[in-house]
Structure 1
Amino acid sequence: MKPNVVLIMVDQMRADCLSILDHPVVDTPNLDQLARQGVLFKNAFSATPTCVPARAAVLTGMAQTSNGRVGYVDKVPWDYEHTLPGELAKAGYHTQAVGKMHVYPTRNLCGFHNVVLHDGYMHYSRFKHNILEADSFNYSGDDYLPWLKQQAGAKADLNDLGLDCNSSTVTRPWHLPDALHPTNWVVSESIDFLRRRDPRKPFFLKMSFVRPHPPFDPPQAFFDMYKDVDLPEPVIGDWAETEDDERHGFGPVVLKGIVPKNRLKRAQAAYYALITHIDYQIGRFLNSMQEHGVLKNTVFLFVSDHGEMLGDHNQFSKALPYEGSAKVPFILSDPGNILNVEKNRTVEDVVELRDVMPTLLDAAQVEIPNCVDGQSVLPLCANEKMKWRDYIHGEHPRGIESHHYLTNGKEKYIWYSQTGEEQLFNLIEDSGETVNLAGNIEYKNRLKYWRELLINELKGREEGYTDGVSLIKGREPKAILSHLMSQS
């Protein structure tokens, strides 16, 4: 029988928050073990670092320009012909998703046989003034909230703690029993799938957590692990804004600004606590897999859709091209030696979320559709000599901070499309991106090299970012390309 495949996906987890990467405080023993039993990719990126476009890359294996989602837009239908679960289902796999999907319509199966859904707080389906818009009122589609109300009382809701679903600076520990936390629920439902699956088929399970995305609401025991610890200070580049005259940092939802020190420290502690909470629950799931006798014939891939700035450069949340936001954890684990990968090693080659689909199809010995832009990382795991990509191209509309970036894991070039500002970082010597080398005469040729690569990437784009010779600032960015809208 073909191997089982488990995709463990988290939301908004920074790549550096693994103890196996020597993070000064975060403890992730179960993820460390998965890495020891496989390969850890140290230069994995999200090309479009927000939830919707990043998840499109995972499910389709397509680059952002191919899947049409170059930014964040809700309520655009997902009608892709080929998806990761769809291809596995056609190949005889029993496919199941538990937790976050963030697709449209909300109950779109996207190729899965079944979805047990919790997307978290989704504005377009929660705002009461949308109740008459039948096509957008998908609030009843969530599976976790009705269960929570049944367990904790009819008045229980997602916002009981008073925390905003997009605040990266405000926290409060979970107020109900740990078993009722959405992180525990995802694992409980995943364990139940092990009981209910068709034993004649290999299975594909996507176990998808909303956390450590806000709200920052870890169970008290996990918050206590970090609340009194000396936490690392955020890195601040010499190019970063250090004034906050409008006091943006004092609001509950912060994208940039100077946050009160104690509030920031509590947010850091809660963020790290959510990661360790997820880690322990992953350990619970792995124990259950042992009990069901399926651990050794299963391949695992752990990944996040994007990161979290967490105060670096006085920035918060995601959508930015910097390491905290765009770099993600990426672990391929093979505890049963199914794939014959070289264990307990790290890979420096640059990978991207579009590589998830071809990698898992390759592991399952399923043909990879021609529309897939990503590449299987299995040859890299086997330490084979091969030609790999030289860099990845990322982008995201974000108002005045709309940008494009290129990186090979050693250097990073950023172009802000509205202002024309350029940044260049030496990631080997300056992993915190604290020194912008774009104005350094010694890096003139490197700057030109990366700029020309970006011009080539943007040739023919409908936004008009380049004439093929120069980058053109001020062109209005789009979050959805026209070829996707024409299919909707």
Structure 2
Amino acid sequence: MSKPNVVFIMTDQLRADCLGYAGHPDVKTPYLDTLAARGVVFDHAYSACPSCIAARAALHTGMEQSHHGRVGYEDNIPWNYEHTMAGELSKAGYYTQCVGKMHVHPLRNYLGFHNVELHDGYLHCARYGSVPYRESQFIADDYFHWLKQELGTNADVTDTGLDCNGWVARPWMHDEKYHPTNWVTDRSLDFLRRRDPRKPFFLMASYLRPHPPFDAPQYYFDLYSSRKLRAPFVGSWETDEYLKANGRIFDSKTGPSDPELIRQAQIGYYACITHLDHQIGRLIMALIEQEVYDNTVFIFTADHGEELCDHHMFRKSRPYEGSCHIPLFITAGKNVLPDIKSGSSCHSIAELRDIMPTLLDIAGAEIPSSVDGESLLPLTEHPDLTQRTWLHGEHSYGEFSNHWIVTEKDKYIWHSQSGREQYFDLASDPHELNDLISGQEHQDRIAELRSCLIESLKGRPEGFTDDVRLIPGRPYPPTLPSAVLP
């Protein structure tokens, strides 16, 4: 049997619950719902280091964060990994193409892909001043280059006045066909047109949205602007200290303090998601029309979530569900993966590091010994099985720096600067409204999860533990020595 084609749909900053198939009461995603219904949904998938660079390091290398060395957000650190997802698939006979976001360094580092058509969105480090390798987004980013060709040399995504990390929302100012979400689909369709039909292909359609700016076309804003939307979740343990201090700052780590601006952020975020869904629908239809859908495996996920004003916070990097819980499903055409249990859910803990070994398993390729992740392919046949019972997550994030252990039913959090601990019973409290860290009935379980974290942190250069207890206040840089390779 010939190797299946693979379409890997990657999104940015899409939280797990903001999809129709996940039961969200407001967000509409009919095409993704269709794909999910035909495959296996991994409803306990997480991003162990939930921000763009660190999450993508896990994705592209299959390594856990202490091995790939990126435990926070830091630009301009070269990516020099021996084994990568695309590199190994290329060795296995696939033609490998990425369209959209890579967020690596240097910008045109292909990480083993045969070709990359790049759009990383607005990256501050590559937009002003000099950068290593003398790269600039104005030159290196294919979408920005194309947009200037189409609309003139002064055309730029910043014409909306929106920032790439802010909660301000407004509709896209140009025709929809010029939107970066449409561009990723357009270039993916062009790849399908010009591919060699004799070779299996791996297409990574890497969409930037719904990462800010929240600038979907007007049609998608109109879908949500008159709806009554579910309010953000705010835990009884949270205070409004940071909201009072920063709730008027558009790019702060908190959400806005103005309820109307919260609503506008939700409208903009949901609009970007439905716009994304419809563009994925275009891609699906093209695969059907070109008669390759039935021979294709689909994987869908995101690099991390978006807090979207839950617990008064915005963006990602924190240990709560809106930030670190991500969507993930695997779907296959009728001629491939014949034993997949379509229409089922798997509750085993999954992580981005599992994507690379899953793809190599699908391709029948050898999985390098450097890979820490586990193939999810067996779970598509037996979704009732459990491969990973707990996961260690973390993020270097200043005073919000954190480590956490999550299982199918609960979560333990340690704030590494202050030493504060939290415990949530996710089975009964999926939105983390009640912190049970002080409850006597949970102390044995908390001690068990704390011991898992101590075990995970043994030998780390930061000195978070003496192998017996956790030690707060240790220096916690976003990059470990293991990330700086020759």
TM-score calculated relative to the size of structure 2: 0.97
Deviation at 1:263, TM superposition (A): 1.0
Match of 2:235 in 1: 237
Counterpart secondary structure, 2:298: strand
Q: Which runs of 5+ in 1 are unaligned?
A: none
User: After superposition, where does 1:130-279 map in structure 2 within 5 Å?
Assistant: 130=130, 134-167=133-166, 169-244=167-242, 246-256=244-254, 258-279=256-277
Q: Which runs of 5+ in 2 are unaligned?
A: none
Match of 2:28 in 1: 27
Aligned in 2, Cα 1:256/1:54: closer, same or farther, shift over 3 Å? same
Match of 1:57 in 2: 58
Deviation at 1:244, TM superposition (A): 4.9
2:222, 2:123 → 1: CA distance? 29
Equivalent pair of 2:348/2:385 in contact (CA under 8 Å): no
Residue among 292, 295, 298 paired with 1:297: 295
Match of 1:11 in 2: 12
1:29, 1:343 → 2: CA distance? 17
1:159, 1:138 → 2: CA distance? 13
1:296, 1:258 → 2: CA distance? 46
Larger displacement relative to structure 2 (248-257 or 26-35): 248-257
2:354, 2:107 → 1: CA distance? 25
After superposition, what is the alpha-carbon deviation per residue over 1:169-206, rounded to whole angstroms, capped at 9, x for unaligned? 20110011111000000000000000111111000000
Deviation at 1:146, TM superposition (A): 1.5
2:477, 2:153 → 1: CA distance? 42
Counterpart secondary structure, 2:277: helix
Residue among 314, 325, 328 paired with 2:326: 328
Equivalent pair of 2:410/2:425 in contact (CA under 8 Å): yes
1:70 matched to 2:68: no
Deviation at 1:242, TM superposition (A): 2.2
1:88 matched to 2:89: yes
Aligned in 2, Cα 1:126/1:467: closer, same or farther, shift over 3 Å? same
1:418, 1:378 → 2: CA distance? 38
1:245, 1:183 → 2: CA distance? 32
User: After superposition, where does 1:353-368 map in structure 2 within 5 Å?
Assistant: 353-368=352-367
Deviation at 1:230, TM superposition (A): 0.5
1:232, 1:102 → 2: CA distance? 32
What is the root-mean-square deviation in Å for CA atoms of aligned residues?
1.3
User: After superposition, where does 1:97-108 map in structure 2 within 5 Å?
Assistant: 97-108=98-109
After superposition, what is the alpha-carbon deviation per residue over 1:90-130, rounded to whole angstroms, capped at 9, x for unaligned? 11111100000001110001000000000001111101x32
Aligned in 2, Cα 1:209/1:245: closer, same or farther, shift over 3 Å? closer
Counterpart secondary structure, 1:424: strand
TM-score calculated relative to the size of structure 1: 0.97
After superposition, what is the alpha-carbon deviation per residue over 1:14-63, rounded to whole angstroms, capped at 9, x for unaligned? 10011112110101111111111111111000000000010111111111
Residue among 311, 314, 317 paired with 2:315: 317
Read off the aligned partner of 2:380 and give its amino acid letter.
C
1:130, 1:264 → 2: CA distance? 36
Aligned in 2, Cα 1:257/1:287: closer, same or farther, shift over 3 Å? closer
2:385, 2:307 → 1: CA distance? 34
Equivalent pair of 1:397/1:479 in contact (CA under 8 Å): yes
Equivalent pair of 2:137/2:144 in contact (CA under 8 Å): no
Deviation at 1:254, TM superposition (A): 2.4
Aligned in 2, Cα 1:55/1:245: closer, same or farther, shift over 3 Å? closer
Counterpart secondary structure, 1:112: coil
Counterpart secondary structure, 1:287: helix
Deviation at 1:293, TM superposition (A): 1.1
After superposition, what is the alpha-carbon deviation per residue over 1:231-267, rounded to whole angstroms, capped at 9, x for unaligned? 0101111111224575411111121255211111011
Q: How many residues align?
A: 484
2:418, 2:155 → 1: CA distance? 46
Deviation at 1:480, TM superposition (A): 1.1
Equivalent pair of 2:348/2:386 in contact (CA under 8 Å): no
Q: Which stretches of structure 1, 4 residues or longer, exceed 2 Å deviation after superposition?
A: 133-139, 242-247, 384-387
How high is the sequence identity, in percent, across the aligned residues?
50
Equivalent pair of 2:341/2:383 in contact (CA under 8 Å): no
Equivalent pair of 1:244/1:257 in contact (CA under 8 Å): no
1:246, 1:322 → 2: CA distance? 21
Match of 2:458 in 1: 459
2:114, 2:242 → 1: CA distance? 50
1:384, 1:38 → 2: CA distance? 11
1:33, 1:245 → 2: CA distance? 39
Read off the aligned partner of 1:251 and give its amino acid letter.
I
Equivalent pair of 2:232/2:311 in contact (CA under 8 Å): yes
1:271, 1:164 → 2: CA distance? 14
